[in-house]
Amino acid sequence: MTGSVASSLNIALPPWLTERVAACRPMADSAARMAFVIDLARCNVESDCGGPFAAAVFEIASGRLLAAATNLVVASACSAAHAELLALALAQQAVGRYDLGTPGHPACELVGSAEPCLMCCGAVLWSGIRRLVYAASDADVRAIGFDEGPKHPHWIEELRRRGIEVCGEVLRPQAQAVLAAYRERGGVVYNSRGGS
């Protein structure tokens, strides 16, 4: 690709993920939604499709799935291909709006298998979602070698101040097990320049 200029971006979800999303029925509560997301992260690890992370966007009231994604950084050669970013972008495309919090439309939540990194926190802030639910903690993710960036120490309060509810460590042990499995399999820790 040296010497050429890219004019488009194409990041395709693994076929197994597309099938699971198509078969998904509305889920009544955050625990069920999180179990679904953690299972996607586990499948991503087991199928060697990418990192040990998954995320999904749901309508809060109905539990309807708008979009789901897994981490595809290595497979797509794109450092921005975090599960949260992809799930938010796909949900925005699905509803035809960049703002998932547009008045008159169902409020949405982002459910992630891990606490968002610095980059994903920014995406949450501007996505329009009204609730963020995560499983594994920042410390859990850093413990296997990932660089989560220098997040603002009061990031949860900042999101709440902007009308975004934050629910953390939902089904954390299950998410920790996925992280551990990734490490045991020798999964790639794709920090910039190999640093931490």
User: Catalytic amino acids?
Assistant: 84
Neighbour-count burial for 166-188, b at 16+ CB within 10 Å, e otherwise = beeebbbebbbbbbeebeeeebe
CA distances from 68 to 3, 36, 129, 163 (A): 34, 10, 14, 23
Which phi and psi angles does 165 have, rounded to 5°? Answer: -75, 140
CA distances from 140 to 11, 24, 115 (A): 27, 28, 9
CB 88 within 8 A of CB 127: yes
Which residues lie below 8 Å from residue 1, measured CB to CB, with a gap of 6+? none
CB 50 within 8 A of CB 43: no
Closest among 172, 72, 67 to 115, alpha carbons compared: 172
Q: E strands, 5-130, where?
A: 54-59, 65-70, 108-114
